[in-house]
């Protein structure tokens, strides 16, 4: 069976020889590193739930290539039902982990490439789709985690890739060989990169002919020679190095991002899915982005956790019966369920592409993501409002457990008489984690900038909306005849 268990996944990571740096030093044991491990645990949950009968329908699918049961994160969507299940799976995992679980980017890259390689072959008589399907079967049969790498550093945003003072600001081919190519550059903000078996590279923007050396898509094992990972910092990240766990808020799960360096890396031809076909770079970016904007169903799941935590602290504070608190909880749920409407709508309105892959409704996917850039911030604001200032002024766990100060912390941070001070502290730390700490990277900042900036979605909305048809109907109803 191609489905890995969580233990098999973790053991597979131990076999990788990744070059990872954090705080200026190489990480010797990536799997056991206390800052990285919570993010690995979150990915492991995608394997755990796939093993559980009650989640089998959401977490697994039947491969259209082999007929085998595969993890849905390696599946190519074969119906609008698959797209809906993808959204529901994202919400489920967000609610189970309270963070980013890091496999969506790879899933979205696979699905976008399944369409673009097919279309390129039709136009250019290339063999990319055959290569891709061979690669896809390998990913499915080994139940691999793929890191989808699209975002380049970009350098001076006013200049095209070929105009940059430093040509490596966009990943590019620097040499062509008989058996493959040599590439150089970097990919930024790579979610879950060091928890991945494979890295799938895509262009970051629409390329013109002058930028054809940057119009590249390929896949490599994550520990390929020449690939280096530099871990990004997150707010409160070093709390994971402390002896206690209470101050972390989320005791088991988290996320991570990395800057991924490609220093003259060799890519064999059979792993290349786009090579200078600049005329398809825009399609790949757009279709990947639409899929990935749908994937922000995960924020609905994290929102479920934050709403649950907010209701809990209201009860612990003895404020749950106040009318304004009740109304604010209603508003949080309204906003969160509105987000869920968006991801279900763009899935339900999806359609079949010539390749056979089902693609989301791009307009609704971009509307959904535009709401994601706003509503989680409003939900977080209400959570902080109800939680109160203690969320950010709590003494440390060490003070809580100290023989000298613990008695005062226990006494003066008490809420309702039937709620322990420790439980009150724990739920406040979770809210802090979700709205200000490490999880806030995935819930808030990623909601703003993940899958493209808010303006990128607005541009796509303007392109997808048929404004002429809206004008036509309006003019007809009021009797305007411009013939």
pLDDT of residue 84: 98
The pTM for the full model equals 0.96
Which structure tokens are listed for 385?
């409002």
- The residue from 99, 104, 343, 346 that is catalytic is 104
pLDDT at 58 over 90: yes
Q: Contact at 8 Å (CB) between 11 and 45?
A: no
Amino acid 424: pLDDT: 97
Q: What is the mean pLDDT of the chain?
A: 96
* 253 contacts 98 by C-beta, under 8 angstroms: yes
Give catalytic status of residue 104 as yes or no.
Answer: yes
pLDDT score of 97 more than 80: yes
Q: How confident is the model at residue 33 (pLDDT cuts 50, 70, 90)?
A: very high
Q: Which of 198, 257, 397, 432 is catalytic?
A: 257
Q: Which of 386, 405, 391, 388 is nearest to 440 (CA)?
A: 391
What pLDDT does residue 321 have? 97
User: Which residue among 46, 47, 60, 100 is the active-site one?
Assistant: 100
Residues of the chain above pLDDT 70, percent: 100
Name the residue with tokens 């262009």: 203
The percentage of residues in the chain with a pLDDT greater than 90, rounded to a whole number, is 96
Q: Is 446 annotated as catalytic? A: yes
Q: What is the pLDDT of residues 116-129, one digit of tens each?
A: 999 999 999 999 99
Residue 364: the pLDDT is 97
Give me the catalytic one of 47, 128, 275, 296: 296
pLDDT at 53 over 60: yes
Q: For 378-418, what is each residue's pLDDT tens digit?
A: 999 999 999 999 999 999 999 999 999 999 999 999 999 99
Among the listed residues 46, 97, 191, 373, the single catalytic one is 191
Confidence at 226, pLDDT banded by 50, 70, 90? very high
**Whole-number pLDDT of residue 270:** 97
Delineate the domains of the chain, giving CATH numbers in brackets. 7-283 (2.40.110.10), 293-475 (1.20.140.10)
Three-state helix/strand/coil letters over the chain: CCCCCHHHHHHHHHCCCCCEEECCEECCCCCCCCCCHHHHHHHHHHHHHHCCHHHHHHHEEECCCCCCEEEHHHCCCCCHHHHHHHHHHHHHHHHHHCCCCCCHHHHHHHHHHHHHHHHHHHHHCCCHHHHHHHHHHHHHHHCCCEEEECCCCCCCCCCCHHHCCCHHHCCEEEEEECCEEEEEEEEEEEECHHHCCEEEECCCCCCCHHHHHHCEEEEEECCCCCEEEEECCCCCHHHHHCCCCHHHCCCCCCCCEEEEEEEEEEEEHHHEEEECCHHHHHHHHHHHHHHHHHHHHHHHHHHHHHHHHHHHHHHHHCCCCCHHHHHHHHHHHHHHHHHHHHHHHHHHCCEECCCCCEECCHHHHHHHHHHHCCHHHHHHHHHHHHHCCHHHHCCCHHHHHCCCCHHHHHHHCCCCCCCCHHHHHHHHHHHHHHHCCHHHHHHHHHHHHCCCCHHHHHHHHHHHCCHHHHHHHHHHHCCCCCC
**pLDDT reported for residue 1:** 57
> Catalytic: 236?
no
Which of these is catalytic: 75, 197, 292, 368?
292
> How do residues 61-85 score in pLDDT, each as one tens digit?
999 999 999 999 999 999 999 999 9
Q: Contact 187/230 with Cβ under 8 angstroms?
A: no
pLDDT at 482: 87
Q: Is the pLDDT of residue 373 over 70?
A: yes
Catalytic residue among 46, 117, 128, 298: 298
pLDDT at 344: 98
Q: Is 341 a catalytic residue?
A: no
Average pLDDT over residues 164-180: 97
Q: Does residue 253 have a pLDDT over 70?
A: yes
Span 414-471, pLDDT tens digits? 999 999 999 999 999 999 999 999 888 889 999 999 888 899 999 999 999 999 999 9
Active site residue 296: yes
pLDDT value at residue 483: 77
Instruction: Give the number of other Cβ atoms within 10 Å of residue 363's Cβ.
Output: 18
The verdict on whether 298 is a catalytic residue reads yes
Out of 198, 277, 397, 446, pick the active-site residue.
446
Contacts of 99 (CB under 8 A, 6+ apart): 38, 39, 42, 250, 253, 254, 255, 302, 438, 439, 442, 443
Higher pLDDT, 301 or 439: 301
């Amino acid at each position: 069976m191609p489905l890995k268990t969580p233990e098999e996944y973790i053991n597979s990571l131990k076999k990788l020889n990744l070059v990872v740096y954090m705080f200026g030093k190489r990480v010797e044991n990536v799997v056991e590193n206390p800052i990285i491990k919570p993010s690995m645990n979150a990915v492991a949950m995608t394997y755990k739930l796939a093993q559980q009968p009650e989640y089998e329908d959401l977490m697994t699918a039947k491969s259209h290539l082999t007929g085998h049961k595969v993890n849905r994160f390696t599946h190519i969507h074969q119906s609008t039902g698959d797209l809906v299940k993808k959204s529901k799976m994202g919400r489920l995992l967000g609610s189970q982990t309270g963070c980013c679980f890091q496999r969506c980017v790879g899933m979205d890259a696979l699905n976008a490439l399944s369409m673009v390689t097919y279309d390129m072959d039709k136009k250019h008589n290339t063999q990319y789709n055959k290569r891709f399907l061979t690669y896809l079967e390998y990913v499915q049969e080994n139940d691999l985690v793929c890191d989808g790498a699209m975002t380049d550093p970009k350098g001076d945003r006013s200049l095209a890739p070929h105009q940059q003072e430093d040509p490596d600001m966009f990943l590019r081919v620097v040499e062509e060989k008989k058996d493959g190519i040599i590439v150089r550059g970097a990919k930024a903000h790579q979610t879950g990169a060091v928890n991945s078996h494979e890295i799938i590279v895509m262009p970051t923007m629409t390329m013109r002919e002058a930028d054809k050396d940057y119009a590249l898509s390929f896949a490599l094992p994550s520990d390929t020679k020449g690939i280096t990972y530099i871990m990004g910092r997150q707010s409160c990240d070093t709390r994971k190095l402390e002896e206690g766990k209470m101050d972390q808020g989320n005791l088991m799960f988290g996320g991570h991002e990395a800057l991924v360096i490609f220093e003259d890396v060799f890519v064999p031809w059979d792993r290349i899915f786009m090579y200078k076909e600049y005329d398809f770079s825009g399609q790949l970016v757009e279709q990947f982005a639409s899929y990935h904007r749908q994937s922000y169903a995960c924020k609905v799941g994290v929102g479920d956790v934050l709403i649950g935590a907010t209701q809990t602290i209201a009860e612990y504070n003895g404020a749950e019966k106040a009318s304004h608190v009740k109304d604010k909880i209603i508003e949080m749920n309204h906003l969160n369920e509105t987000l869920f409407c968006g991801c279900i709508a763009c899935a339900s309105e999806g359609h079949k592409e010539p390749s056979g892959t089902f693609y989301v409704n791009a307009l609704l996917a971009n509307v959904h993501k535009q709401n994601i850039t706003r509503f989680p911030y409003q939900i977080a604001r209400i959570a902080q409002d109800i939680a109160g200032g203690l969320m950010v002024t709590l003494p440390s766990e060490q003070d809580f457990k100290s023989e000298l100060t613990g008695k005062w912390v226990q006494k003066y941070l008490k809420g309702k008489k039937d709620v322990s001070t420790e439980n009150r502290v724990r739920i406040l730390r979770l809210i802090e984690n979700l709205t200000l700490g490490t999880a806030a990277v995935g819930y808030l900042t990623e909601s703003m900038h993940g899958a493209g900036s808010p303006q990128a979605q607005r541009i796509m909305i303007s392109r997808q909306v048929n404004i002429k048809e809206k004008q036509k109907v309006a003019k007809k109803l009021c009797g305007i005849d411009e013939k």
